[in-house]
Structures are given as structure tokens and as C-alpha cells.
Structure 1
Amino acid sequence: MAKVTAINISEKKGVIKTPIPEGVFIEDFGLKDDAHGGKWHRQVSLLAQESIDKMIALGVENLDAGKFAENLTTEGLELHTLPVGTKLQINDVLMEVTQIGKECHTGCAIKQQVGKCIMPTEGIFTKVLKGGVIRPGDEIVVTKVVR
């Protein structure tokens, strides 16, 4: 079963996010009170714990949820293999994958603190089609895969 392991938030872009007990996701905005929210295609960022584990295996220490500035840390789903257009359902929240990976900006706080950032290759971005609340442990259902 694919599931959410953490919801993470920050007031500024480009910094490590802090885990919160639940997230309110707003249609066509993203995570309430998060710096990345807004009317654009990268409203919510997701990163799999399996990707974080790759960094831990390389010897990077003290990695936990939010260190790569992801809004949702997940488990049990190889996120970066999902094509753009794939829809994910978590409780009432419906998201559509809009981008796989991203270009790391200069002076990225994550890269400076962690040494390497995996968001450029393994993180994904979504827009919120329908809002609701997400908590750690909630199941992720892939409702539509576009090939």
C-alpha cells in the first residue's frame, strides 16, 4: 500500500520544511500556508522515502521528512516513474502530476546542508484538483495513469 508518511511546510521557498500533524490542501492552490502554494503547476511537491533512503545509503546522515523541501513524504510508490497527467487520490484530495523533477536553483539551502539534492531527479510536483485534509498514514491511490 502506498501511503503518506509526513506532511511538511515552510514559510519561505528553498528551505527545509517542517513536519506538521495534518495538512489542509486547497483546490488550485496547494498546501495552506506553504510558501509554494499558489496558482501555478508546482503547488505540491512529493518525494518518496525510498528516494531519501538512497541518500542515506550513500552516507548522508540526519535525513528525515522535509529535508528536501517536499510537502509530502511518501512510501510504497515510485513517484518519479509516474507520467505527467497521472492522478493521485488521498482521502478527498485529488492531485494531478504536472512535473517530474526540477532544476535546482543556485544557492539551494538543501544542497548546501545535505550535500546533494534528489528533488531534481526523483521529486514530483502536482496541482490540487480537489481539496481536503491529509494526515500521515493516509493511503495514496493512483486513480489514473497517463502513458
Structure 2
Amino acid sequence: MRIGDSGEVLATCVVHADLEVPGRVGRTAIDKRPVAGRVGVRFLGLAGDHVCDTKHHGGVHQAVYAYADEDARRWGTELGRELAAGWFGENLRVAGLPVSDAVIGSRWSIGDTLLEVSAPRVPCATFQHWSGELQWVKRFALRSDTGAYLRVLTEGTIGAGDRVTVVHVPEHGITVRDVFTGADLDLLAILLADEPTISDDVRMQIERHARRQTNAARAAGAQGRHRRTEHRSGVVSERQRANREHSAPSRTTEPSASEAES
């Protein structure tokens, strides 16, 4: 995504009604639906919207959630149903921009607001329950079309039909998808060093990726050592068997009559 790239807001969505769900909090505001007219955008999110699980959602770094219409349509084709604006719990359904490949720290001008890309969305058990799809969290994570959280730099209003214009892209080039997958820790180290805006949540995500890769490397190393030990044990056993056969006394006399008849 480059400076000057643009898309369009297809819908602005806020919570329709809180729903009861399993879990500690017991309620969710994931059921978001489009609203008519312009919607106020404040530092903590859209007017009329809220979150229930304030420990894991919301705050200035997760004030607004955007999802690409192209990704929603692809999922709709796979699931065999229309996924209307708001189905992903998004505040903004956006067309024309690869939202999940937005660079962390890039800035979007929408209406009279200025928003900054802050983090990927991490799917949770509530999203699984809401979807009604088998292994939905795993499928969503494997695709990595997570959408993007945005922080609000300039308050204002947003409405359907507004242009989304990319006005700033950090030189590090590290994307929402890069942070979510954690496939390249060297890249993420650059993000930690070069991007002053990253949140504590993103730092923790990167730390989790590093721990997982370290643990996986240790497990692979332990498995390799076990296989080498088994191989050496097998070689030693084979040598011992060969030595026993080589050192066994050979017959120097003709078989007895009883042996020959048997």
C-alpha cells in the first residue's frame, strides 16, 4: 500500500445489540450493523459503539476496526452465504484497499478524520461462537485476512461513500499481516526499533511469536538429538551382533550320525 492509494467506505457500523456468549465476560458487542448518515469518530471509537470485554478489546489502539469488502466477499463465497457489513465486527467495511496488508503506522484520511493503522485483529472464542462455523478461528487465522485496527489521530465524522486515502506510509513497510503471522522475526525486530507508535498489545504479540519459534526450535533440536541417539544405538547394536557372530566358535568336526539324521 502506497501514499495516494485510495478506497471507499461502504458502510459505517456500530453495535446493534449486546449478545450473551459463553465465557468470563458473558456478553459481546460483536453484532455490529450499518447506520445511516455520518457517524462521530472519537479517540475511543465511533459514537454509539462500545465493547464488552474491555480487557482484550477497545482502547485508543483499537478504537476503529476496518475490514476489506473483497475479503468479506471471498469468505462469503466459501461459506455459501452473504456476510453483510458488520458481520466481522468491523466498524468500517472498506472497498478498494488491501486492509490486511496495510503498513503498521500508515495513516488514512477519511472524511475529516485521520486514522492510523495500529494492529491486526486476533480472532477469539467469541468470534468463533458468533460465526457458527466449525473451526472458524483456525480457518480465519490461516487465511490471515485479519483486517486492521486503527487509532484516531483527528476526531471528526465518517459516512458511507467517504474516500479512504493513504496519506502516510512508514519506511519500514511492515504490515498488519506480518505482525499477525509472525513469520519473520527479523522484520518484527525492525518494527520494534523503528515504529514509535506500536502498542503494548503488538509488542506482546511479537514476544509471543518469538517464544513460539524458540520453543519450536528447541523441540526440533530435542527430536533431532533423540533420532541421532536412536541411530547411534542401532549402529552399536548392529556392531555388537556382528561381533558376536564373528567371535562364535566354528565347527571343526563332521556332524555326528545323530546330527546328520536329524
Determine if the TM-score, normalized by the shorter chain, exceeds 0.5: yes
- Residue from 70, 76, 80 that aligns with 1:56: 76
Higher relative strand content: 1
Cα offsets for 1:27-85 (capped at 9, x unmatched): x2111121149643111000010010111221331311011110000000001111110
Query: What is the distance in 1 between the residues matched to 2:149 and 2:91?
Result: 10
1:145 maps onto 2:160 in alignment: no
1:31 maps onto 2:46 in alignment: yes
1:38 to 1:123, Cα distance in 2 relative to 1, 3 A: closer
What runs of 5+ residues in structure 1 fail to find an aligned partner? none
Contact kept in structure 2, 1:47 and 1:123, CA below 8 Å: yes
**Structure 2 matches for 1:103-122, cutoff 5 A?**
104-108=123-127, 109-112=129-132, 116=136, 118=140, 121-122=145-146
**Structure 2 matches for 1:37-76, cutoff 5 A?**
39-76=59-96
**Structure 2 matches for 1:13-28, cutoff 5 A?**
13-21=28-36, 22-26=38-42, 28=43
Deviation, 1:18, is 1.3
Tell me which residue corresponds to 2:151: 127
Is the radius of gyration larger for structure 1 or structure 2? 2
Higher relative helix content: 2
Q: Cα RMSD over matched residues?
A: 2.3
The letter of the residue matching 1:8 is C
Contact kept in structure 2, 1:80 and 1:100, CA below 8 Å: yes
Deviation, 1:116, is 3.3
Aligned length: 145
Deviation, 1:87, is 0.3
Tell me which residue corresponds to 1:101: 121
What runs of 5+ residues in structure 2 fail to find an aligned partner? 1-5, 19-27, 52-56, 174-262
With 36-45 and 59-68 compared, the bigger mean Cα shift is at 36-45
Cα offsets for 1:78-114 (capped at 9, x unmatched): 0111111010000111000000231x22243432269
Contact kept in structure 2, 1:5 and 1:72, CA below 8 Å: yes
Cα offsets for 1:3-42 (capped at 9, x unmatched): 000001015445220110131101x211112114964311
Contact kept in structure 2, 1:25 and 1:131, CA below 8 Å: yes
Q: Relative contact order, CA 8 A, sep 6+: which one is greater?
A: 1
Contact kept in structure 2, 1:101 and 1:122, CA below 8 Å: yes
With 127-136 and 108-117 compared, the bigger mean Cα shift is at 108-117
